């Protein structure tokens, strides 16, 4: 074989070797792409993820779903489960984004809304958390500060989501010491009761139950007992029972509640006062920071015996409210107004038109310290002219139509010194102004309570 032939054979072998390599690489690339496409095309195991979340194995659920996050972003079930897994693995910001996305596609999901409320709570966005929770259910007799309210709601949501309990609950007990002062007004001066100071001791205990029914219904009931004991034997000891029961229907961004509530109060000398009412409330979540509400209530106040019996009356009112969260959820401002009529009464001054407003501001200074400030005002315009005692008149008696303006202003600080234990100094100023002298009154109360929530 000559040199030319050997070269030709070698060249041919080289071309075949390089061609075979190219074919092999192409085959491997095709196989890899096929596997990749198969992997990308594989659906996440939603049933398995749901089981893991239900069992509290959040890290396993997160590892199972996270690789499919981009593909499953529009699936509300996927977003909810990955959001729950993110929340359970201490990723509240990621949980918030996933749960918000899930609710855009499925706004009626109670579980997703409760989980989103918990994500806001974990992020310290208490105002947003409260708005989310109150589109599902609400409680009466909550403490006045924002963080304590949200802590109670979050605990109830945790029982439902993590423990699978349809019947959820919370309770509280508190006690403390304070001072009650009657301030000087025309009314107290006329009847010799001005500038009186009395020390008191108080106690309060209560709680609430909530039962989540199918089809976005929930049933809740609460009971609250308050007692105040005075050192002065001439001052009555106050005793007060308050209760509420309601059915709430969650409707995505909205909710509607129908219920009844009442109160039994001891008024001294064996006299009790009972209040009971029927009410309806509609709430609408405008966005993460804003909630509006509208409601109506018919209430009966009844004094069964004694000198106050003539004050028994029925009141029908309508109300509207707005809650606004700000300062990254650390603060909340609420405004509520109402108007209606008092009737079916034996009061000498007759029936009365009534309207008023209340405003409150809550601010969380740190994880353990918060504060609140509120103001309340009501105007009563009576419809009957009658003679009233009037010390400024020469004959000490005038014919007038009574008009009252009632005011309350309060403030307090809440310090959680141990988990579930809070120290609560508070102050309350009350002022009743009336063109009828006997109905002018003012008092200032200060007290320091210790509260335990469970």
pLDDT of 191 reads 59
Phi, psi for 353 (deg, rounded to 5) = -80, 145
When pLDDT is cut at 50, 70 and 90, the band that residue 10 belongs to is very low
Q: Is the pLDDT of residue 19 over 50?
A: no
pLDDT of 119 reads 98
Residue-wise pLDDT tens digits, 29-50:
343 333 333 344 478 899 999 9
Residue-wise pLDDT tens digits, 49-84:
999 999 999 999 999 999 999 888 789 999 999 999
pLDDT of 74 reads 86
Burial class (CB in 10 A: 0-12, 13-18, 19+), 49: buried
Domains and CATH numbers, the chain: 163-453 (2.40.160)
Give, in degrees to the nearest 5, the angle at Cα 314 between 312 and 318: 145
Beta bridge mates, 186: none
Q: Closest Cα partner for 377 from 337, 317, 434, 322?
A: 337
d(CA 351, CA 247): 32
Residue-wise pLDDT tens digits, 156-205:
999 999 999 999 999 999 999 999 999 988 767 665 556 788 999 999 99
pLDDT of 43 reads 82
Q: Is the pLDDT of residue 4 over 90?
A: no
d(CA 102, CA 111): 11
When pLDDT is cut at 50, 70 and 90, the band that residue 17 belongs to is very low
Q: Is the pLDDT of residue 11 over 80?
A: no
pLDDT of 390 reads 66
**pLDDT: is 287 or 3 the higher one?**
287
State what percent of residues in the chain have pLDDT above 90: 76
Q: Closest Cα partner for 83 from 57, 112, 104?
A: 112
Average pLDDT, the chain: 88
Burial class (CB in 10 A: 0-12, 13-18, 19+), 120: buried
| pLDDT (average), residues 231-245 | 90
* CA-CA-CA-CA torsion sign (213, 214, 215, 216): positive
pLDDT of 54 reads 94
d(CA 377, CA 362): 18
Q: What is the residue whose two structure tokens read 């740190």?
A: 366
| pLDDT (average), residues 78-105 | 96
Helix (H, G, I), strand (E, B) or coil at 304: coil
When pLDDT is cut at 50, 70 and 90, the band that residue 241 belongs to is very high
> How many Cα atoms occupy the beta-carbon half-sphere of 265 within 13 Å?
14
Q: Is the pLDDT of residue 270 over 90?
A: no
| pLDDT (average), residues 244-256 | 95
Residue-wise pLDDT tens digits, 400-418:
899 999 999 999 999 999 9
Q: Is the pLDDT of residue 394 over 50?
A: yes
Q: What is the residue whose two structure tokens read 């918990």?
A: 118
Element (H, E) at 225: strand 217-230
Q: Which of 186-190, 213-217, 344-348 has the highest mean pLDDT?
A: 344-348
């Amino acid at each position: 074989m000559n040199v030319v032939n050997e070269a030709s054979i070698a060249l041919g072998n080289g071309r075949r070797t390089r061609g075979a390599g190219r074919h092999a690489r192409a085959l491997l690339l095709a196989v890899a792409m096929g596997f990749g496409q198969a992997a990308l095309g594989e659906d996440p195991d939603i049933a398995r993820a749901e089981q893991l979340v239900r069992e509290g194995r959040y890290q396993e659920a997160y590892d199972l779903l996270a690789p499919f996050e981009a593909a499953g972003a529009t699936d509300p079930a996927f977003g909810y489960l990955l959001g729950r897994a993110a929340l359970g693995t201490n990723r509240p910001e990621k949980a918030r984004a996933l749960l918000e996305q899930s609710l855009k596609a499925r706004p009626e999901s109670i579980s997703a809304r409760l989980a989103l409320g918990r994500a806001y709570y974990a992020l310290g966005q208490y105002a947003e958390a409260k708005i989310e929770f109150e589109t599902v259910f609400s409680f009466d007799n909550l403490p006045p500060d924002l963080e304590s309210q949200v802590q109670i709601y979050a605990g109830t949501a945790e029982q439902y989501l993590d423990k699978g309990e349809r019947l959820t609950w919370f309770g509280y007990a508190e006690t403390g010491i304070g001072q009650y002062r009657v301030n000087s007004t025309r009314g107290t001066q006329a009847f010799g009761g001005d500038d009186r100071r009395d020390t008191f001791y108080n106690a309060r205990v209560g709680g609430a139950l909530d039962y989540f029914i199918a089809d976005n219904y929930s049933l809740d009931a609460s009971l609250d007992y308050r007692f105040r004991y005075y050192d002065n034997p001439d001052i009555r000891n106050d005793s007060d029972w308050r209760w509420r029961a309601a059915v709430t229907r969650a409707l995505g961004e909205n909710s509607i509640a129908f219920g009844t509530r009442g109160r039994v109060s001891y008024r001294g000398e064996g006299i009790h006062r009972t209040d009971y009412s029927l009410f309806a409330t509609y709430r609408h979540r405008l966005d993460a920071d804003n909630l509006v509400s509208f409601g109506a209530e018919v209430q009966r106040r009844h004094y069964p015996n004694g000198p106050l019996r003539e004050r028994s009356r029925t009141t029908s009112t309508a109300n509207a409210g707005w809650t606004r969260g700000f300062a990254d959820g650390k603060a909340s401002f609420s405004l509520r107004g109402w108007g209606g009529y008092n009737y079916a009464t034996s009061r000498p001054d007759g029936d009365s038109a009534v309207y008023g407003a209340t405003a409150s501001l809550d601010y969380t200074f740190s994880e353990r310290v918060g504060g609140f400030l509120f103001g309340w005002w009501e105007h009563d315009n009576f419809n009957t002219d009658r003679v009233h005692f009037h010390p400024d008149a020469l004959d000490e008696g005038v014919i007038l139509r009574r008009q009252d303006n009632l005011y309350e202003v309060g403030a307090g600080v809440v310090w959680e010194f141990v988990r579930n234990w809070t120290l609560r100094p508070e102050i309350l100023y009350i002022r009743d102004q009336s063109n009828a002298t006997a109905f002018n009154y003012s008092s200032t109360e200060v007290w320091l309570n210790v509260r335990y929530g469970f």
